[in-house]
Structure 1
Amino acid sequence: MNECVFCTLPETEILAENDLTRAFYDKYPVSDGHVLIVPKRHAANLFDATPEEMASVGALLTRVKIILDDRFHPDGYNIGANVGIAAGQTIFHWHVHVIPRYNGDAGSVRWHS
């Protein structure tokens, strides 16, 4: 069985964190500043999250937005999670995408067949 890439994330890659979640830049970004917010506890999908983890994601999302606004000055954001293979989930440690959007970009999210 392969080791979960999110469970073995080096500390040097962490952009921000709190007690239950951490944020880091996506290795395959859809746009400049694309960040993932990931719970520290391994769980396969968003529906396995505890209420405390969901609140923790919300708190970290606010901090990440401030960082991204300061560094990248996006015009908008896509925020979402893929749950299941049919929805495009490729790593089975749930996570939330924070995708900065810029006027004139494609405005779509990544999709793998």
Structure 2
Amino acid sequence: MSKTIFEQIAAGDIPANIVYEDEVCIAFTDAFPLSKGHTLVVPRKPVENIYDLDEETGAHLMKTITNVANAIRDAFSPDGLNVVQNNGSYASQSVFHIHFHLIPRYKDGYDGFGYQWEQDPNERTDAEKSEIENTIRTHLNA
């Protein structure tokens, strides 16, 4: 089985601009950044997506994401920051090794993200909203 590009970067087989690393994860600037400071946070071990992410690794990743986000803010003073994580090809996941994009947003500079939200046009009744809520709740692993 071949290694993903992120496993190769974590192993030192492919060069990258590493801003942080420890035994669990690695953070490096994106090779094709959407803005100045665009950074990825990736676990060292192969985990395809959020559905396969164990709680301990997820907690460590979030701690690292917060640390790196604060470093980006202090270094470049962006006007905002998006944290993006995609799961599955339909959701634009192109490398099937979980990774989090930290994308600084700038009002007065190039910002190639183009992110926008559009509300679901399907209006739901209170009963439908309650059914959705209860369906999710019954599938939670406590």
Give the TM bin, normalised by the shorter chain.
0.7 to 0.9
Gaps of 5+ in 1: none
Which has more helix, going by share of residues?
A: 2
Distance in 2 separating the partners of 1:38 and 1:93 = 8
Distance in 1 separating the partners of 2:5 and 2:112 = 28
Aligned to 1:4: 4
Higher relative contact order (CA 8 A, sep 6+): 1
SS of residue in 1 equivalent to 2:7 = coil
Is contact 2:35–2:112 with CA below 8 Å preserved after alignment? no
Are 1:31 and 2:38 an aligned pair? no
SS of residue in 1 equivalent to 2:8 = coil
TM-score, length of structure 1 as denominator length? 0.85
Distance in 1 separating the partners of 2:113 and 2:92 = 17
Matches within 5 A, 1:79-90: 79-90=83-94
Structure 1 residue 70 displacement after superposition? 2.6
Distance in 2 separating the partners of 1:21 and 1:8 = 13
Distance in 1 separating the partners of 2:21 and 2:52 = 20
Aligned pairs, number: 109
Change (3 A) 1:106 1:41: closer
Gaps of 5+ in 2: 116-142
In the TM superposition, what whole-angstrom CA distance separates every residue of 1:18-44 from its partner, at most 9, and x where no partner exists?
A: 332111101111111101110111011
Is contact 1:17–1:60 with CA below 8 Å preserved after alignment? no
Aligned to 1:42: 46
Q: Which structure has the bigger radius of gyration? A: 2
Cα RMSD, aligned residues only:
1.9
TM-score, length of structure 2 as denominator length? 0.69
Distance in 2 separating the partners of 1:25 and 1:106 = 15
